[in-house]
Structure 1
């Protein structure tokens, strides 16, 4: 009988979760299993080919691990001639059927010959560490003659710009890079990191060594350099980069294969456990969102009960803290969401609950093909400091008191400067209520197959379904999408009664609060979410959330492109009189009826909010200036 393959193996093959596989079965994207939860080999192969051949799924952000696209990755190479050289090198590789390893080896040999590290007639031998290293690598090659000849006509001078790593990145598909979360660090981000030549340094997720050659000096003692990664080919490039950097064929740097997450586990063969060491400096850009199998996720939750996560960068940070000397320094590049997403509250608690000085530099969008903003986290062990020191993208420096970072989520609001803090604290320190345990929340419908279920025009038995972009302040745009509602067919749907009642609908993907009151029992697509407050007038909440004041709170405290349930639950709602609620209701009615001067009606609502929280004209002007980018007003008030 033909060997059967479990449906879990579809997820492992494509780099997606079992939940996604189940949803694809439910929504008929793929057929149900042949026997129990198993597929025949032919059915399995057909499914894999079908998914890879569907452009809409291959280009999905959620399934970017399926992408086979490639692009030239310059890794900070700026010279036009150098870029042209890299393009020519990549083009030459693509003209031959060589493996990734053989392609990199060919470039390594050409680079070493160009820079006279090895002779043109170099032969396999074991005279030096480099010679032994190359000999072992060549022994793995299945086409050594082509490897040696491939780049023989190229001149690849060493400029310490990681052209080897750039080549390796450029010949990998996006799927290979996203599987390991491997997006490399621009050299311009490393300028402020200085490593004394007599100090030990570890990069536990070193890749091709770009960070190391960006922060070391040639006076540094190579024996004090430690580099680790799970990518064996990247580690080989790292070794060659350091040989080139120090011009040392007997390089004494310590470069080993080791997984930052599973380093102490014997359950995974790729984990190379070693004696735990401590380091003066730990600097890295850990993987973000790399993929794990179900068994690996379960193992991670058992290995790290203190932080209760399988997010790789949180684990990498947690492990690094245990390897840092008592007076050591750590630099980690992380997504901005590390600071304010509730799922990371345990690792935030860990770094806050130590006698360390914490500094954060806000970097913005600096990594190619990474949509989230980034930060550089700097921790100085053993330096007790009750403030977090923050530097924004404009070079402004301010402090955030650790006392203001409280349970349960330990949110680090790094976008709040000293003047912002005055305003935010004023509102949160005024008596208020919130939506926590005081509202029901629900998500928009995830069909699992919009091409099949979402209609561009209305038809018999269809009805409008509203997307996030259809939601404006106080109203819906004319519907662009329709659906024949069949709740049992969709991937994810809230209880139907949530949609079929009066509710507040809001944009889920947004950097500002935008909501409307829905009295028409409308359906929402997954880019729009909803909530139903229990003991607070809905018209008042819509008036509050659509105000500049609440967008200011959201922008400063959470700085997120996704409006989460936890964000809305945290917002301070004023305890208003019945008359004040009635006045807001009157303004709301005038706005939805589109009477003249709707902005004036919102300002009247803002006036009620300002009165309750004691926000004066100057502070209100500052809030509006922050949202509108009025830098002159902002600077004047900050300095005043």
Structure 2
């Protein structure tokens, strides 16, 4: 299907989901939820009627809310064409070094532009970590940064002894390309023609590709490009369903890396534990992973954590160990231990001994909730200020937030919403809220906090709910006790290392149901004894020897 422009959409009285998301500054997932609730009318794959969109803007979303959002975007934006013109005029100014020019340029990029393009230039101290894994003599190696930005990886490659003639870079930002060339000349006196103003992903689709001994980069994270384009790239480089831009660069770079070459990527934390990156992780685990480095939050103004991974393009050997490090500490771990994690999660902060405990827990008889439960999301009102009240009113119902849920009970309600559920942006099937019993749990949380509900409570979207199928081997009360247990919480945090309790992660947790065959009442110490593990003073668990 040909990608329509916005002008084409108007002519055909249709508009794409991508364009709706862009105009309202929301995710496509939010747009799909508005379709499910009847606010937008879908007409064919990926399209809604223009009339329903216009009606939604004016009568549903609220003029005040949209105006506020638009004003916020206006404040956090810049004219990139004017910015490029300004800085291109400075590129030949010998009074300003390439490094200082790059810093000034980066400072003037708006947050909305950075988010759209996935642009966050790599700090020098982070760059330096990657080069310690290269051979001492790199003079004959070729080096590439496919997302070179202002050239920090490239300058470090020069410092590491790689010849400027053997260094290549690509970027879609014309000024970034020019400032990288300027920095190379200032550093070496060599005028290079190897830094190209072109999308590296596009070059990977062309014949007669160039191959490299070393590829180090910080690819764009979540760059906003059309799904059709991402799928096309994924098909070309074998990325499967891993179609985020960072995954596409990961697979593309592997197609351009020589045998026994070195690949180094700085990636968002999600790459290492979220299900949508699973195929990329499996690809990495087929090769020799040298190191995984936790950099914490290295980017100013960005809350996302970042990790580095360094890979050698050769098959993983039996007994290969991975150096897992933070800025000041490190440990080693057998690479094959990651293969036994659910979804091939690369939980590098977990020690070798902890990984053995995880393997032990998964080896014991258990079931999972995968395919054995009904799931429901909490209510998304679309406008909490408009709908939520702090005191009960006629025609209102109590609604519970994630923060109300405790593993020993639930707080009294402090929020109330109109009982007309058709008012809201997203509502689960009513029968889930009104089930005779269900489990509700915190969604935004780094630990598992479940509550057994028998009073048909409603929850907001900071909480979710599940109902096991009738044939599940233990009761909901018993399931709640296991999920809230210390050892299962340790397992959850150690494997998934996340601040969101995702359905896919819960479905991967082993439920050791046979414990209740001999223990009708749950107790932490008897559960640990059954599992043959013990809790240490620091709250971690290990196999009882």
User: Do Structure 1 and Structure 2 share a fold, with TM-score over 0.5?
Assistant: yes
TM-aligned CA distance change 1:102 to 1:52, over 3 Å: farther
Asked whether 1:202 is paired with 2:144, we answer yes
CA contact (8 A) 2:376 2:428 kept: yes
TM-aligned CA distance change 1:49 to 1:517, over 3 Å: closer
1:405 paired residue number: 339
Rounded Cα–Cα distance in structure 2 between residues aligned with 1:475 and 1:211? 52
2:530 paired residue among 599, 604, 612? 612
Asked whether 1:7 is paired with 2:18, we answer no
Rounded Cα–Cα distance in structure 2 between residues aligned with 1:56 and 1:371? 21
Rounded Cα–Cα distance in structure 2 between residues aligned with 1:423 and 1:284? 34
CA contact (8 A) 1:549 1:623 kept: no
CA shift for structure 1 position 287: 0.8
CA shift for structure 1 position 325: 0.9
Asked whether 1:526 is paired with 2:461, we answer yes
CA shift for structure 1 position 365: 2.1
TM-aligned CA distance change 1:236 to 1:42, over 3 Å: farther
CA contact (8 A) 2:291 2:311 kept: yes
Rounded Cα–Cα distance in structure 2 between residues aligned with 1:231 and 1:52? 33
Asked whether 1:69 is paired with 2:52, we answer no
Rounded Cα–Cα distance in structure 2 between residues aligned with 1:40 and 1:539? 45
Asked whether 1:541 is paired with 2:474, we answer no
Rounded Cα–Cα distance in structure 1 between residues aligned with 2:392 and 2:52? 41
Rounded Cα–Cα distance in structure 1 between residues aligned with 2:479 and 2:323? 33
Rounded Cα–Cα distance in structure 1 between residues aligned with 2:58 and 2:83? 27
1:90 paired residue number: none
| SS at 2:209 equivalent | coil
TM-aligned CA distance change 1:606 to 1:25, over 3 Å: closer
CA contact (8 A) 2:398 2:416 kept: yes
2:423 paired residue number: 489
Rounded Cα–Cα distance in structure 2 between residues aligned with 1:569 and 1:97? 45
Deviates more, 1:186-195 or 1:332-341: 186-195
Asked whether 1:299 is paired with 2:309, we answer no
Spell out, residue by residue over 1:455-491, the C-alpha distance to the aligned partner (whole angstroms, 9 max, x if none): 3332111112122222222222232321113333333
CA shift for structure 1 position 426: 2.6
Rounded Cα–Cα distance in structure 1 between residues aligned with 2:495 and 2:444? 17
1:454 paired residue number: 388
Rounded Cα–Cα distance in structure 1 between residues aligned with 2:54 and 2:334? 59
Spell out, residue by residue over 1:290-321, the C-alpha distance to the aligned partner (whole angstroms, 9 max, x if none): 11234434534544554223201111000111
2:168 paired residue number: 226
TM-aligned CA distance change 1:211 to 1:401, over 3 Å: closer
CA shift for structure 1 position 613: 0.7
1:346 paired residue number: 279
Rounded Cα–Cα distance in structure 2 between residues aligned with 1:49 and 1:311? 32
Aligned pairs (5 A) from 1:209-358: 209-217=151-159, 220-248=162-190, 251-265=191-205, 273=206, 275-300=208-233, 302-304=235-237, 306-354=239-287, 356-358=288-290
1:164 paired residue number: 101
TM-aligned CA distance change 1:481 to 1:29, over 3 Å: farther
CA contact (8 A) 1:474 1:517 kept: no
TM-aligned CA distance change 1:577 to 1:186, over 3 Å: closer
CA contact (8 A) 2:286 2:315 kept: no
Deviates more, 1:330-339 or 1:229-238: 229-238
CA shift for structure 1 position 199: 1.6
2:128 paired residue number: 191
TM-aligned CA distance change 1:15 to 1:208, over 3 Å: farther
TM-aligned CA distance change 1:309 to 1:429, over 3 Å: closer
**Which structure's CA Rg is the greater one?**
1
2:536 paired residue number: 621
Rounded Cα–Cα distance in structure 2 between residues aligned with 1:532 and 1:23? 22
2:49 paired residue number: 37
Asked whether 1:551 is paired with 2:489, we answer yes
| SS at 1:421 equivalent | helix
Deviates more, 1:167-176 or 1:218-227: 218-227
TM-aligned CA distance change 1:463 to 1:516, over 3 Å: same
Asked whether 1:390 is paired with 2:305, we answer no
Rounded Cα–Cα distance in structure 2 between residues aligned with 1:611 and 1:190? 46
Deviates more, 1:550-559 or 1:474-483: 474-483
CA contact (8 A) 2:237 2:252 kept: no
CA shift for structure 1 position 560: 1.1
CA contact (8 A) 2:40 2:52 kept: no
TM-aligned CA distance change 1:256 to 1:517, over 3 Å: same
2:111 paired residue number: 174
TM-aligned CA distance change 1:438 to 1:473, over 3 Å: same
Q: TM-score, normalised by structure 1?
A: 0.72
2:292 paired residue number: 360
| SS at 2:184 equivalent | helix
TM-aligned CA distance change 1:41 to 1:497, over 3 Å: closer
1:436 paired residue number: 370
Coordinate RMSD, CA, aligned: 3.7
Rounded Cα–Cα distance in structure 2 between residues aligned with 1:224 and 1:240? 16
1:102 paired residue among 85, 89, 101? 85
Asked whether 1:503 is paired with 2:445, we answer no
CA shift for structure 1 position 223: 1.4
TM-aligned CA distance change 1:186 to 1:274, over 3 Å: farther
TM-aligned CA distance change 1:257 to 1:178, over 3 Å: same
CA shift for structure 1 position 43: 9.6
CA contact (8 A) 2:91 2:178 kept: no
Rounded Cα–Cα distance in structure 1 between residues aligned with 2:462 and 2:343? 25
Rounded Cα–Cα distance in structure 2 between residues aligned with 1:349 and 1:530? 31
Asked whether 1:420 is paired with 2:354, we answer yes
Rounded Cα–Cα distance in structure 2 between residues aligned with 1:284 and 1:427? 37
CA contact (8 A) 1:504 1:538 kept: yes
1:464 paired residue number: 398
TM-aligned CA distance change 1:467 to 1:226, over 3 Å: same
